[in-house]
A = this chain, B = another copy of it.
Amino acid sequence: MLAPAMLAAAVAAAGSPTSPIYGVTIPDGYRQWEFIAPALEAEPLDELRIVVGNRTAVDAYRAGTLPFPDGAVLVKLAWKRLQSPDFAPASVPGPATTVQVMAKDSRKYAASGGWGYGRFIDGQPVDVAQHETCFACHEGRVKDRDYVFTRYAVPSGLR
User: A23-48: which have CB < 8 Å to B?
Assistant: 26, 31-32, 34-35, 37-42, 45, 48
* A contact residues, total (Cβ < 8 Å): 48
**What is the oligomeric copy number?**
2
Q: What residues of chain B lie closer than 8 Å to A87, measured between beta carbons?
A: 141, 149
Known A-B contacts A50-B50, A86-B141, A92-B151; the reply to A99 vs B157 at CB < 8 A is yes
> Which of A38, A42, A87, A154 is the most central at the interface, judged by chain B CB atoms within 10 Å of its CB?
A38
Known A-B contacts A49-B38, A50-B38, A91-B39; the reply to A77 vs B142 at CB < 8 A is no
Contact A91 B40 (CB under 8 A): yes
User: A59-103: which have CB < 8 Å to B?
Assistant: 77-79, 81, 84, 86-87, 89-93, 96-99
Q: Is A153 an interface residue (CB 8 A)?
A: yes
Contact B38 A156 (CB under 8 A): no
Complex: A124 Cα to B157 Cα, angstroms: 8
Q: Is A7 an interface residue (CB 8 A)?
A: no
User: A93-151: which have CB < 8 Å to B?
Assistant: 93, 96-99, 120-124, 141-142, 149-151
- Jot down 27 A-B pairs with beta carbons below 8 A, ordered by A: A26-B157, A31-B34, A31-B158, A35-B35, A35-B50, A35-B52, A37-B92, A38-B79, A39-B48, A39-B90, A40-B40, A41-B90, A42-B89, A42-B91, A77-B156, A78-B155, A87-B141, A87-B149, A93-B151, A96-B153, A96-B154, A96-B157, A98-B156, A99-B155, A99-B156, A122-B157, A123-B156
